[in-house]
Amino acid sequence: MAKRRAAADGEGVLIATYFAPLAADAPGAFSLLDDCAALTPTPGHDLILKTDPIREGVHFFSDADAADIAWKALAVNVSDLVAKGARPVGYVMALSFPEEPSARWLKKFAAGLKAAQTAFGLTLLGGDTDRAPGPLSVAITAFGEVPAGKMVQRGTARVGDRVFVSGTLGDAALGLALVKRPLAAIEMRLLSHQCDFVMDRYDRPTPRVALAPLLLAHASASMDISDGLLKDAGRMADASGVALAMEFERLPLSDAMTRALAANAERMRDVVAHGDDYEVLFTVPEAGVATFVSAARALPFRMTEIGVVKKGAGAVIAGADGKPLVFDKSGYEHF
């Protein structure tokens, strides 16, 4: 058979060198030599789709490490899939560069993607690269699978269900503060390893892949909290036609956040009203809580009950005095 080759133009060479190795495990990616990818769905399953681009200046800084940019671009999409109960399968990616990227940058970027793929269990299937004025943009569309009809929706929480959240809240907000100003560590009273931890939480959010099967089995509603707990809980409440009543005292905090909060109570805002957490907010019917909690013990991250679903509307987080916490801005606004 004749030997197949990549196109000998700029885009072809770039793809063959840096991106084709990331697609090696997917036969339907055709080594990125074709115009489209083919994905063979598992019989009896729905494909879950998410597209969430990230851009320099909005989602990351111009001095961000290329490997971190790649990781985050994939993580923000996989986080949504996982919150729907899906097993990540693959992704396509459109890269837009304001200028021709350096080989060093591309090598790091590809390494970051490779690390994220391995951690999250999915594979590059196809993509597009071009040059356009404006900020560097990484637009990923990710695919996951759930048994047919089983996607865990955000609008299906029911009165009486218990509200849970994965991991810890607000760490990425501290990480962002440190990325902007390293000396902020002093007023936060963070130890050195805590600084590393919160910056890692900002740069490399970890989708809760292992949680997905438990959500399928036990959750009544679920979503990831990329725009902050209060705002996203409000969205779940709106979509479900219920109220979510939570308590600040029950929210899961890392050691780092506990210290930062002791130093400055205004950090409460970072816990409930900052974006970038990429944890999962979900509800479990009361009758299923014990079974769920027992199953969740095997997970390598925390799972915390933080409130209850009630009749009414909106999301409320009560402070230590029982009164609702109010902030001037409840979470990240896209417009």
Residue 37: φ, ψ to 5°: -110, 155
Which residue is associated with the tokens 């269900």? 161
**Reduced to 3 states, what is the DSSP secondary structure of residue 306?**
strand
Token pair, residue 70, equals 């790649």
Give me the least distance between CB of 159 and a second copy, in Å please: 8
- Contact yes or no for 183/190 (Cβ under 8 A): no
Of the candidates 166, 149, 124, 165, the one whose C-alpha atom is nearest the C-alpha of residue 48 is 149
**Reduced to 3 states, what is the DSSP secondary structure of residue 335?**
coil
Which helix (H) or strand (E) segment is 107 a member of? Answer: helix 103-120
Q: What would the DSSP string read from start to end of 183-219?
A: THHHHHT--HHHHHHHHHHHHS----GGGHHHHHHH-
